[in-house]
Amino acid sequence: MKTMKRRPGMVMAGLATGLLLAAGGAGAQGAKVKVGFMLPYTGTYAALGNAIENGFRLYVQEQGGKLGGRELEYFKVDDESEPAKATDNVNKLVKRDQVDVLVGTVHSGVALGMAKVARETKTLMINPNAGADAVTGAMCAPNIFRTSFSNWQPGYAMGKVMAEKGHKRAVTLTWKYAAGDESVGGFREGFEAGGGKVQKDLTVPFPNVEFQALLTEIASLKPDAVYVFFAGGGAVKFVKDYAAAGLNKTIPLYGAGFLTDGTLEAQGDAAQGLLTTLHYADGLTNAKEKTFRAGYMAAYKAEPDVYAMQGYDAGQLLGAGLAAVKGDVKNQAPLIAAMEKATIDSPRGPFTMSKAHNPVQDIYLRKVEGKQNKVVNVAIKGLADPARGCKM
Ligand code: BEZ
């Protein structure tokens, strides 16, 4: 290390600089932590984006509006679930608004663009939904965390459940993009390991909801069961169309839990009895779930769903990191270390982070009863994503 010879007067100047730095440091401590929400506020996933933001804000509110002793300042970009706009949108937050933390997003294709920029700029990113396997797989990075799931996780669990139910031949159907492809990939792995066979994979472009031709094809293929990935507005339409075609009477429908989460009000009778797998359910009895549900109801006059819960946990995870550095968000190494070793007391039940920064969590089997996704049992306990391609 190079050393400088001290000249007379340097000590005083150095002292003054030290004081200024200390004052600057204190100023930085006093400044608000800038949080950039990049979420869909329009389109088929709009309700999901809003629920995530609500959940995150609820946690911060419960902490008196501060994390690690610092207030937060929010910036927002509507990503429209549009992968082609992802780079421009995330740069609005990173370059224009200079946020300290990115919170987003919902759509896997958009998340991949977001994660690329977060990696390159080393901006802390907490992904509160999008399941793109690569985010905590090949693209994993010290500054990228997820509080939700990998697309593989609920799919794999449902493959196992359906095989255990004795189904031998299944047809899959999903939107054609990363989330659907990977959800079906996880499903195939679990189903085939249990002795099942995927008869045919059907897809429809995102966010199309013209399902009629596909339903006709399913009827003629006559599989033992159908596995689907749909979410938000598309999930509402699909479940209604499946029932209207009468298929719910002859070919059992299963899905990753997004099929019936946050959607039951609109799906009504068409969803009754559906079985899905997810890392959250109605009827969990842990203490955090009770306070979270009551707090969310009081704040927003609505029941929370999985998206609200994931947003809440993104707040909790950031809170764990900021507490460790007393709000000094620029002090990334200890902040990341604290996030890595945090046990999040989540409404889903406690979870920890895998080495690749994805939750290691229980996946529940749920059954729709009225307006609830009632927990049936734990389909797989402490399921970790395989994090294929992650070199961290
Ligand atoms: C996704 O694109 O990763 C996704 C979107 C909605 C629900 C679940 C996953």
pLDDT digit string (tens) for 338-389?
999 999 999 999 999 999 999 999 999 999 999 999 999 999 999 999 999 9
- pLDDT bin (cut points 50, 70, 90) of residue 29 is low
Residue 26 pLDDT > 60: no
- pLDDT bin (cut points 50, 70, 90) of residue 251 is very high
The vertex-149 CA angle with 331 and 45, nearest 5°, equals 100
How large is the average pLDDT for residues 221-228?
A: 98
The reported pTM is 0.92
Q: Residue 355's pLDDT is what?
A: 98
Q: Residue 10's pLDDT is what?
A: 36
Pocket mutation for ligand 1, best pick of 44, 81, 129, 385 (most atoms within 8 Å of C-beta):
129
Does the beta carbon of 218 lie inside 6 Å of ligand 1?
Answer: no
* Residue 131 Cα to ligand 1 middle (Å): 6
* Residue 352 Cα to ligand 1 middle (Å): 21
Is 206 within 8 Å of 175 (Cβ atoms)? yes
What tokens does 221 get? 């293929």
Q: Residue 13's pLDDT is what?
A: 37
Pocket mutation for ligand 1, best pick of 48, 80, 107 (most atoms within 8 Å of C-beta):
107
For residue 132, the ligand 1 atom closest to its alpha carbon is 3
Q: Residue 257's pLDDT is what?
A: 98
How large is the average pLDDT for residues 124-150?
A: 98
Does the beta carbon of 83 lie inside 6 Å of ligand 1?
Answer: no
Q: Residue 30's pLDDT is what?
A: 72
Domains of the chain and any CATH numbers = 33-149+284-360 (3.40.50.2300), 152-278 (3.40.50.2300)
How large is the average pLDDT for residues 173-201?
A: 98
Ligand 1, atom 6, residue with closest C-alpha:
231
Q: Residue 357's pLDDT is what?
A: 98
Percentage of the chain surpassing pLDDT 90?
92
pLDDT digit string (tens) for 318-341?
999 999 999 999 999 999 999 999
Does the beta carbon of 281 lie inside 6 Å of ligand 1?
Answer: no
- pLDDT bin (cut points 50, 70, 90) of residue 27 is very low
**Which residues, 6+ apart, have CB-to-CB distance to 370 below 8 Å?**
264, 272
Q: Residue 12's pLDDT is what?
A: 36
* Residue 6 Cα to ligand 1 middle (Å): 59
How large is the average pLDDT for residues 128-150?
A: 98
Pocket mutation for ligand 1, best pick of 105, 206, 258, 278 (most atoms within 8 Å of C-beta):
258
How large is the average pLDDT for residues 26-39?
A: 81
- The C-alpha atoms of residue 102 and residue 250 are separated, in whole angstroms, by 45
pLDDT digit string (tens) for 101-134?
999 999 999 999 999 999 999 999 999 999 999 9
Does the beta carbon of 57 lie inside 6 Å of ligand 1?
Answer: no
pLDDT digit string (tens) for 258-317?
999 999 999 999 999 999 999 999 999 999 999 999 999 999 999 999 999 999 999 999
85: closest CA among 103, 101, 107, 100?
A: 107
Does the beta carbon of 141 lie inside 6 Å of ligand 1?
Answer: no
Is 105 within 8 Å of 113 (Cβ atoms)? no
Longest dimension (CA), the chain: 91
